[in-house]
Amino acid sequence: MKFMLIGGIILIIVTIVFTTLKYINQFKNNKISRELKERSWEGIGKYENNISVGWVLMFIGIIFWIVWYMLIGYPTNQFAEIGQYNEKISDKSVARVLKKNKKSIIGEMPHFDRKLSDTQVKAIENYLRSISEK
């Protein structure tokens, strides 16, 4: 991970230095010998301007970075807070909420101890878990 970060930093620095040196040389040797475009607007012409190498390199670099990030860089198997939260919500904790009058995600829960069948308790547990996953 650190290698990729250092590689990216080096790539950016090399690109900046290359582009800067190119433009410094261009300013030193600036000769207006470029051709004007054929079309003009009320006698005002435009020069033919090619895309600089620096812009092309940055564009290609960004495309490579996007592909790398989509295939390798996106943290799919990394730590996620939502996964940790879902692990904490177990059957026992949901059953505790149902048996004792505690606050839950959907508000104050009434006391259901010995008033619901096991099937009803399981259905409410699944419902509470589905709410917490949204």
pLDDT, one tens digit per residue, over 21-50 is 998 988 888 776 667 777 777 777 777 777
- Mark whether 8 and 53 lie in a shared domain: yes
- Mark whether 65 and 85 lie in a shared domain: no
End of a domain among 73, 106, 125? 73
- Mark whether 69 and 88 lie in a shared domain: no
End of a domain among 73, 90, 117? 73
- Mark whether 27 and 58 lie in a shared domain: yes
pLDDT bracket for residue 67 (50, 70, 90): very high
Q: Average pLDDT in the 9-30 region?
A: 91
Q: What is the pLDDT of residue 32?
A: 66
Question: Is the pLDDT at 124 greater than 60, yes or no?
Answer: yes
- Quote the domain boundaries for residue 110: 81-133
Phi, psi for 73 (deg, rounded to 5):
-75, -25
- Mark whether 58 and 86 lie in a shared domain: no
- Mark whether 67 and 115 lie in a shared domain: no
**Whose CA is closest to 65, among 111, 12, 110, 23?**
12
pLDDT bracket for residue 16 (50, 70, 90): very high
Total domains, the chain: 2
- Mark whether 119 and 56 lie in a shared domain: no
Is residue 112 exposed (0-12), middle (13-18) or buried (19+ Cβ within 10 Å)?
middle
- Mark whether 27 and 47 lie in a shared domain: yes
